[in-house]
Amino acid sequence: MSTVLVANRGEIACRILRACNEAGYSSIAIYAANDADSLFVELATTSVKLEGESIAETYLNQKQILEIATKYGADAIHPGFGFLSERAGFAQAVIDLGISWIGPSPRAIEMMGDKMTARITMKAAGVPVIPGEEIEQEDEHEALMAIKDASRRVGFPLLLKASSGGGGKGMRVVNSPEELDDAVNGARREAIAAFGDGRVYVERLLSGSKHVEIQILADKQGRVIHLGERECSVQRRHQKVFEEAPCPTMTPELRERMGKAAILAAQAVDYEGAGTVEFLLASNGEFFFLEMNTRIQVEHPVTEMVTGVDIVREQLRIAEGEPMSCGELNMRGHSIEVRLYAEDAANNFLPAIGPLVVFKPPEGPGVRLDTGVRQGDEVTPNYDPMLAKLVVWAPTRNEALQRMRRALEDFVVLGTTTNIRFLRELCDQEDVVNGTTDTTLIDRVWPDGWSPEISNSLTEAALMIAGISEGSGKHRKSNVGTESTDNGPMSPFSTLSRRFP
Amino acid sequence: MLYEFKIDGKTVEVTLAKSDDVWTLSGNNASILSDGRIRLVSKDGAIFFAHSAKVRDTWWVHIGGHTFCIDHVEPGAAEEDNGSGLSAPMPGKVLQVLVEVGQVVEPGQPLMILEAMKMEHRIVAPQEGIVSVIHFKEGDQVQQGIALLEMSL
């Protein structure tokens, strides 16, 4: 293996391209025209432009990507997450060209990717699943009838899930039978738009549970290990926003049992590479299989911070056919990740767009930033609104929270609305402080939506800053309205009178 | 110096005094640093280092861990009328139009479904009324803040 093509964009493409550079591989980035100036394009040895405009014509265009891989001599493809990462057909096509697929076998992707098949496979392997029913009917009307039938047995509130689903798309909470028709139609429509597959199944809604997932690594030598858990209970619209490792209520005994179940799940599909087995953990210690993500995950950094394992580097190693380099599981300290989104948290988390006129991340010990953007970039509606992942590590959970609060207050983003303040206030919530978070936290704490708590004196100070900025003509000093540091006359050589020999 | 701003929909007048390089407002003192940031000492002695940047007419201000959007109102600028139009809360695509012109709608009734980043968002009637204009049809791309439909009450 010498040249890795990264079939992705943004933050995760940066993460993988840097790992390739560090490991001494040549790398190929592929990019759509509207990504020509994006950070990830700079990080690759070679960057190749994709023809076409829509996502389907570019990042999801298997034929075009495979042609580039062949033409530019890629001998491995890393799919990242999202896009083609869980398309078994693409993995197979890559393998058929004699190129290494950095991920599990197409069969494993297929069995885990179809959520209904995964449920059936897990039940057979002895891994506990959430009470619910698979809906086999493909016809829209028949499926609706079958869901109505199943809903009576499963009971309300229930959760409709797209069999091809992920990322909260095609998912609906249904509180009563009256809502069912609308919810099924909405979930189907969203699932067809996102995945081209409208099949939806039914699970009981286990509210008050924690979302706990186990990171898995499996190499070609047959070794399967787990790297402990991450807790990702805090979600808005079924998307995670706050993740941590370890889970604050975990016990060594429960970790052992969940780890074993996750390894069993991986072995049931002859898993290879990095993967994540997601569970719901009830307050009584009972846990249920949710799904397995057959790829690198957004929140993988928190595991890296507490285990010292470079998961992407291990993926490359495993794809190369080498044994993984991890020893005994040794978790140290506590790590928290928050996802920075360009979104209006005070307005139902609606996506926002705009220029990143100022983008100044926090610094200091135990602070890690994984991002695909930099100051001057434009946030567009073309792609996912996640701007960055801010990750902290500290010896204890309390210190990690303190560090996260400080880092979020230091994070300056101007020109585009972000959820930074929301995340900062989230860190003060009693359940977050106590580690008793569950999946209903955001709706419970802010049933009527979140709005920032701002003192009058701070608002007054902000108005004063705006007045001074306007009055000093600050925005006229540079033509794009950025701070004068960015392109102002700040070189010491232009102001110093001393001559340098 | 007097400036007029709009913050959270409210119009506020800010009167600043300046002597040498120090600006003052009701006990707060501030000065511009060489890197463009502004150092502010509040009346109770707290020190802040603020960032600001202007996009069109809006000042973005970061101070004390908060970010503010403050619109500068040019002297003599006319108030824009938002009227009874229903605007797009985000950029996206019109997935479905659920009503027709002339239709009587009830509060909370879905009027249109928008899609952005593959997520659906419903535009609902804020109150009872009659749909008077529909600006977009299914499949149209819409920008954030643009009027989607109009209602007469």
List all residues 6 or more positions away from A479 whose beta carbon is below 8 Å from its beta carbon. Answer: none
- The pLDDT of residue A377 is 97
Token pair recorded at residue A276: 């994540």
The better pLDDT of the pair B121, A16 is held by A16
Residue B54 to residue A488, Cβ atoms within 8 A? no
- CA torsion, points A35, A12, A315, A231, in degrees to nearest 10? -160
Please list the ranges in chain A whose pLDDT falls under 70: 167, 476-501
Any bridge partners for residue A288, and if so which? Answer: A280
Q: Same domain, yes or no, for B113 and B140? A: yes
Integer-rounded Cα Rg, in Å, for chain A is 24
Residue A334 half-sphere exposure toward CB, CA atoms < 13 A = 20
Q: Same domain, yes or no, for B9 and B51? A: yes
- The pLDDT of residue A237 is 82
Q: At residue B15, what is the residue type?
A: T
Whether A295 is catalytic: yes
The per-residue DSSP string of B90-105 comes to: SSEEEEEE---TT-EE
DSSP state of A51: P
pLDDT at residue B59 is higher than 90: yes
Distances from the Cα of B6 to the Cα of A476, B15, B40, B68, B70, angstroms? 20, 14, 21, 11, 6
d(CA A154, CA A148) in angstroms, rounded, equals 10
The better pLDDT of the pair A181, B76 is held by A181
ipTM of the complex: 0.86
Domain closes at, from B24, B40, B72: B72
| Size of chain A, expressed as the number of residues it contains | 501
Residue B89 to residue A418, Cβ atoms within 8 A? no
d(CA A461, CA B55) in angstroms, rounded, equals 20
The answer to whether A97 and A257 are in contact (CB under 8 A) is: no
Residue A357 to residue B60, Cβ atoms within 8 A? yes
Q: Same domain, yes or no, for B94 and B53? A: no
Q: What is the pTM of this model?
A: 0.84
- The pLDDT of residue B106 is 85
Q: Same domain, yes or no, for B106 and B54? A: no
d(CA A142, CA A163) in angstroms, rounded, equals 16
d(CA A288, CA A122) in angstroms, rounded, equals 10
Hey, of B55, B122, B124, B138, which one would you mutate to test binding to chain A, going by the most A CBs within 10 A of its CB?
Answer: B55
Closest CA to A191 of B138, B119, B92: B119
Residue range(s) defining the domain that contains residue B34: 2-72
- The pLDDT of residue B107 is 81
- The pLDDT of residue A497 is 38
Domain A131-204, CATH? 3.30.1490.20
Within 8 A of B64 by CB-CB distance, chain A residues are 409, 458, 461
The answer to whether A75 and A99 are in contact (CB under 8 A) is: yes
Q: At residue B5, what is the residue type?
A: F
Q: Does B148 reside within a domain? A: yes
Selected from 3.10.180.10, 3.40.190.10, 2.40.160.10, 3.40.50.20, the CATH number assigned to the domain covering A3-102 reads 3.40.50.20
Residue B3 to residue A360, Cβ atoms within 8 A? no
d(CA A239, CA B35) in angstroms, rounded, equals 38
pLDDT band at residue B110 under the 50/70/90 scheme: confident
User: Picking from A5-14, A466-475, B28-37, B64-73, which range would have the lowest pLDDT averaged per residue?
Assistant: A466-475
pLDDT at residue B124 is higher than 50: yes
Selected from 3.40.640.10, 3.30.470.20, 3.30.420.40, 1.10.10.10, the CATH number assigned to the domain covering A210-445 reads 3.30.470.20
Q: How far is CA A40 from the centre of its chain?
A: 17
| Size of chain B, expressed as the number of residues it contains | 153
Residue B25 to residue A464, Cβ atoms within 8 A? yes
d(CA B68, CA B48) in angstroms, rounded, equals 14
Within 8 A of B32 by CB-CB distance, chain A residues are 468, 472, 474
Closest CA to A463 of B8, B144, B127, B75: B8
The answer to whether A442 and A239 are in contact (CB under 8 A) is: no
Residue A462 to residue B144, Cβ atoms within 8 A? no
Coil vs helix vs strand at A121: helix
Distances from the Cα of A357 to the Cα of A8, A268, B34, angstroms? 25, 49, 18
Q: Which among B65, B67, B118 is the nearest to A169, CB-wise? A: B118
Q: Which chain A residue's Cα is nearest to B23?
A: A468
The better pLDDT of the pair A372, B102 is held by A372
Residue A250 phi, psi (nearest 5): -70, 145
Query: Which of A87, A119, A199, A295 is an active site residue?
Result: A295
Token pair recorded at residue A159: 């959760």
Integer-rounded Cα Rg, in Å, for chain B is 22
Q: Which residue has the tokens 């990143």?
A: A356
Q: B9 — contact with chain A (CB < 8 Å)?
A: no
Q: Same domain, yes or no, for B6 and B61? A: yes
Q: What is the largest CA-CA distance in chain A?
A: 87
Coil vs helix vs strand at A148: helix
- The pLDDT of residue B85 is 62
Domain closes at, from B48, B72, B96: B72
d(CA A154, CA A138) in angstroms, rounded, equals 20
Interface subset of B 52-111, CB within 8 angstroms of A = 52-55, 59-70, 72, 89-92, 95
Token pair recorded at residue B82: 């938002």
